[in-house]
Amino acid sequence: MKKIVYRNRYLSIERETYRIRGRTAEVFREIKPDIVIVVPRLPDCRFLMERQYRHAIKKYLYEFPAGQVDLGETPKTAAARELEEETGYRARRLTPLSEFYWIPGSSYQKHIFFYADVADKGKRHLDDTEEISIVKMDGTSFEKAMRSGKIRDGKTALGFLLYSKYLAGKQS
């Protein structure tokens, strides 16, 4: 049996009771929209990054643009929208990299990764809760920032690794 036990604008919590190996078990599941993460690369080969304040941890993080897939939207459309909303840049081409269940023990939310060839400047449209500045970083600086702990966002680190694997596949 499933029952929503909490709901707000961003998240619902569902309690489900089920049978496993002859016993009754209970799980609490987060119901959240899928997330897109965009690895944007400028024509000069630098990555377009965000320095974003994250209130939950009360710190600024260096991240790739990311956001939720809105109802009725495809992940690719969401990726293009999030890139422009958060950075003010548009994608010339979006290439799917991979997708993962982020926390499959408690949620079926997927994180969907795209690589973007960044074309031109559009217009930023930040949400009321976003505090974002734009940073441009070359690959060597990005790797140093990961090793030094300057980049601490998991989806950004994974996005860079997926992009590196994609790039290596194109060169072989």
Residues 15 and 58 in one domain: no
- pLDDT single digits (tens) 34-70: 999 999 999 999 999 999 999 999 999 999 999 999 9
Residues 150 and 129 in one domain: yes
Separation between Cα atoms, residue 12 and residue 4, nearest integer Å = 7
What domain range includes position 87? 33-171
- CA quadruple 49, 50, 54, 58: dihedral positive or negative? positive
Residues 165 and 84 in one domain: yes
- pLDDT single digits (tens) 65-75: 999 999 999 99
Residues 14 and 4 in one domain: yes
Residues 127 and 77 in one domain: yes
Phi-psi region of 22 (alpha: psi -120 to 50; beta: other; left: phi over 0): left
Total of domains in the chain: 2
pTM value is: 0.90
Residues 146 and 91 in one domain: yes
In whole angstroms, what separates CA 4 from the centre of its chain? 26
Separation between Cα atoms, residue 84 and residue 116, nearest integer Å = 11
Separation between Cα atoms, residue 24 and residue 18, nearest integer Å = 6
As a 3-state breakdown, the chain gives helix, strand, coil percent values, each rounded to 5, of: 25, 45, 30
- pLDDT single digits (tens) 135-163: 999 999 999 999 999 999 999 999 999 99
